[in-house]
Amino acid sequence: MGVASISNNEPLICKAETMRYRPFGKTGLLVSSLSFGCMRLSDDREYNTGLISQAIALGVNYFETTRYYLDGTCQHRTAPGLADKTPGIIISGKEGIGPDQTACRFRREIERQLDILGLSHFKFFQVGWFSWGMMQHLLKRGGVLDAIREAQDQGLIQHVGFTGHDTPENFIKCIETGLFDSITVPYNMINRAYEPTIRRAGELGVGVVAMCPVAGGVLSLESDRLREALKMDLPTTEMALRFVLSNPNVSTACSGMNRTEQLQQNVKTVKEFEPGSCDFGAMCEGLDRLRVTLGDRFCTGCRYCMPCAQGVDIPRHMDIYRNWKCFGLGAWAADAVKGVPEEKSASKCNECGVCEGKCPNTLEIRKMLRELVSLGNPKRAGKSKK
């Protein structure tokens, strides 16, 4: 067992026999290649406690939390597993920001989350659900940045990061301000939108937490197309983690785990994965070739098609369609279609065609929705042909 030095605090524990570690930007911290997202914990307190304890024992040293996940119970579910184990562990909290947020309220939330988790301080605290448009609320006098700096001066926070879903270009502007030590963004084989942001973060020495490395479970299902594209004969979940960690600018892959089997498999994957053993460029080229199979006409998530007069969640269906056709995730897509609430289902489409008139990519949305209805309910599709 080794340690990673950290100024003015206890050393971080690094268990080299079970885990690999990476520099966390310019913070001086080493973070486990696999980190633990606590938003998917179950409501079984005893099981959660054992799972988090096992993660720490296996060398996971970063846990991402906020009070707001799991209907306000995330940190309550997390805390028992951290009890008496917090020295040497990075636990991050998170609070949102808006026009009405004040330094006083933000400070109270930091203290509240510390109290729930039983901590004396956060090594990282995130400005949550952030965007470039919120920068004015961060910087205003008596605003969030004032609370953060005061909390840092008083030892309640060491480092500050942010997370959100703004455009890659806007997030580049955010990290170029020099205000943040880390950024947390979704990143995986089927969602590489933030690759330019991650690259810029690496250039600036900003730590990168890649959330959703298995795309919220999408990549837990097998895909021969992905195996062929990446030239790997491995389970899709393992390929997914290897892809994320092959990006040299990613500090840690943050996976939302709620089962011992997930944890053990993920730890095994990151431990056995030798950094540099995979050609990241070649992997990206393989994924790009898959995307080319859709041609230039694919959904870009602009949402110009919305709202739909019938209530159909068109962007959600287009996302399912893309993953089905591009990555060969047919079984997942069929389940995903069935999981759409009835009032937002593609079956509600009356084929008025208004969405197609607004689509800048000239997609045949009506045809694609029909295909999805057939995929999710083949018996119904069969009857409709008669």
pLDDT of residue 13: 75
pLDDT of residue 222: 81
Q: Is the overall model pTM greater than 0.75, yes or no?
A: yes
Query: How many helices (H) and strands (E) are present in the chain, helices listed first?
Result: 17, 12
What pairing do the DSSP bridges indicate for beta strands 12-14 and 2-4? antiparallel
Task: Give CA torsion, residues 216, 217, 221, 222, to 10 deg.
Answer: 50
pLDDT of residue 198: 98
pLDDT of residue 297: 58
Helix axes 365-376, 314-327, angle to 10 degrees: 70
Tokens at 119, concatenated? 């901590």
Phi and psi, residue 377, nearest 5°:
-145, 75
Q: Summarize the chain as % helix, strand, coil (round to 5).
A: 50, 15, 40
pLDDT of residue 8: 43
3-state secondary structure at position 159: strand
**pLDDT tens digits, the chain, 386 residues: what are they?**
343 433 345 678 789 899 999 999 999 999 999 999 999 999 999 999 999 999 999 999 999 999 999 999 999 999 999 999 988 899 999 999 999 999 999 999 999 999 999 999 999 999 999 999 999 999 999 999 999 999 999 999 999 999 998 999 999 999 999 999 999 999 999 889 899 999 999 999 999 999 999 987 778 778 888 898 899 999 999 999 999 999 999 999 999 999 999 999 999 999 999 988 889 999 999 998 887 765 555 676 778 899 999 999 999 999 899 888 878 888 889 999 999 999 999 999 999 999 999 887 788 999 999 999 999 776 554 443 33
Query: What Å distances lie between residue 161 and 32, 71, 164, 208, CA to CA?
Result: 17, 23, 11, 9
Residue spans of the domains in the chain: they are 2-279, 314-385
Can you say whether the dihedral through the CA atoms of 77, 110, 87, 253 is positive or negative?
positive
DSSP 253: E
Residue 374 makes CB contacts below 8 A (sequence gap 6+) with 380, 381
User: Could you tell me if 180 and 160 are in contact, meaning their C-beta atoms sit under 8 angstroms apart?
Assistant: yes
pLDDT of residue 6: 37
Task: Give CA torsion, residues 84, 86, 91, 96, to 10 deg.
Answer: 50
Query: What Å distances lie between residue 364 and 133, 188, 301, 322, CA to CA?
Result: 33, 27, 15, 13
pLDDT of residue 379: 59
- Whole-angstrom Cα distance, residue 230 to residue 225? 9
pLDDT of residue 313: 96
Q: Which CATH architecture has domain 2-279?
A: Alpha-Beta Barrel (3.20)
Helix axes 365-376, 330-338, angle to 10 degrees: 90
Can you say whether the dihedral through the CA atoms of 212, 69, 64, 131 is positive or negative?
positive
